[in-house]
Amino acid sequence: MPVTAFDIPEKYTYQNGFNAYHETEAVPGALPIGANNPQKAPLGLYNEKLSGTAFTAPRNENQQTWLYRILPASSHSDFSPRESATYNTNPENKPHERIHQIPNQLRWDPFDLDEGVDWVHSLHLLAGAGDPAMKSGLGIYIFAVGKDMDPHEAFYSADGDFLIVPQHGVLDIQTEFGHLLVRPNEVCVIPRGIRYRVTLPSGPARGYICELYQGHFQLPELGPMGSNALANSRDFQAPIAAFDEDHSGSTTYTLLSKFAGDLFAATQTHTPFDVVAWHGNYYPYKYDLGRFNTMGSISYDHPDPSIFTVLTAPSDHAGTAVADFVIFPPRWLVAEDTFRPPWYHRNTMSEFMGLIGGQYDAKTGGGFQPGGASLHNVMSGHGPDAVTHEKASAAELKPVKVGEGSMAFMFESCFMVGVTDWGLKTCRKLQEGYNAESWEPLKARFRRPEEGGNVNGTKGHRRVEATDYLTGSSGDQ
């Protein structure tokens, strides 16, 4: 059985609420009252503002936090390129590397754990679209990390917000804002620019990351579903202030920056984790996927997978996302006269799927495994494999719970998502014959009515006329 959030005890306390305005202080009196930037900050601290949006962004979009820290974040040496020959997560900015645009359906075996690398060096760009330098698009990563970051290091990405989806192992994340413990079946978001350090309390860890180059994640609108559905605001958790105190000047710390896909390093003689208090609405947070309030049909057909959206990052076109984070949790299926697995479809959106644990209900066999992935790009046809279709077409349509012990997810994007050399070749996990195994075995079943075909489907579809409710008639049409 996969490790879930319930298997590892929580060790930290949090503040609750999505995009809520939080304030927290590790030492009483550290937060100024009635001002953000007093002439002298309390307790001899420094005032520092961290902006996640432009100063002039509309009030409902504006994200910022005031930090009260022992020394400012700017107190470090110049950044210098580091590992420039080998470290790059933006192939589009190097002429000898590229993103490959491929219409084929792609699927990967579980990615290897690597016990020899820390968090920073575990990041492998698998696919993506756009350019972080232009704050446009997204990157999709696999992480496979085997050892703690050095206790005197911190890392941040200037390129975008990290949505981290652990699949194996546990991440203990020390951030400037406080601590997060992130376990399988939980996810976390670390916004652009926030510094952090990752350690591994239960050994090597593996999972998936969607780095959002533009905008920020938000909760999807609920529309006719009303005010309580999907991911509820109260279930998102933000850290409380916690800080280290090492400013003697005798210890050197290294600050690592991912900037336009390249790695840079600077040094400083004080800990980066010295924020004693903070207030604002720009901060890291986590969410337990087990708290998702799943919606679905209780009559016929089933809704689009957008009904399972946890977080979304809208584009400038209404209803279209740069990135949606969608999950497929355990749920009841009760719809009548309905082919219950996902229907065959071609989509204007690209769909990258991963499996945290269990078996995804639209696939049979061992092709789609926990720790693996698939990519169905723009307008590439996909759906249940032949065996699943055969089984679902003949199944008794009684209430059934699917996905017990399973959790699959999808990063969906309006962009055409290309694949890197690492994803195609270097990782050596791309499956051969995915299409041949899944859909080529499907057989034509069409028969004309005179040949015994049923014009209303295998079982016939009951169409009820309005007059039936008045007369009591219930004749099949």
- Cα angle at 155 between 130 and 279, to 5 degrees? 95
Q: Is residue 302 annotated as a catalytic residue, yes or no? A: yes
Number of Cβ within a 10 Å radius of residue 313:
22
- Nearest C-alpha neighbor of 257 from the set 165, 192, 212, 176: 192
- Distance from CA of residue 12 to its chain's centroid? 22
CB atoms closer than 10 angstroms to residue 94? 11
For 470, counting Cβ atoms within 10 Å of its Cβ (0-12 exposed, 13-18 middle, 19+ buried), the class is: exposed
Angle among Cα 403, 324, 200 to the nearest 5 degrees reads 70
Give, in order, the Cα–Cα distances in Å from 465 to each of 260, 358, 446, 462.
61, 43, 28, 10
Residue 386: in which H helix or E strand, if any? Answer: helix 386-394
CA separation for the pair 287, 311 (Å, rounded): 10
- C-alpha span between 315 and 415 (Å, rounded): 10
- Compute CA 163 distance to the chain's CA centroid, rounded to the nearest angstrom: 4
Per the annotation, binding residues are: 345, 351, 360, 382
Distance CA 75, CA 220 (A): 39
* Residue linked to tokens 């969607």: 210
The Cα 265–Cα 344 span in angstroms is: 48
Binding-site annotation, residues for Fe cation: 345, 351, 382
> What are the binding residues for homogentisate?
360, 382
- For the range 179-183, what are the long-range contacts, defined as Cβ-Cβ under 8 Å and sequence gap of 24 or more? 179/11, 179/12, 179/239, 179/242, 180/12, 180/237, 180/239, 180/284, 180/285, 180/286, 181/8, 181/10, 181/11, 181/12, 182/286, 183/3, 183/4, 183/5, 183/7, 183/8
Catalytic residue among 22, 302, 376, 461: 302
Cα–Cα dist 254/147, whole Å = 17
Q: Which residues are catalytic?
A: 302
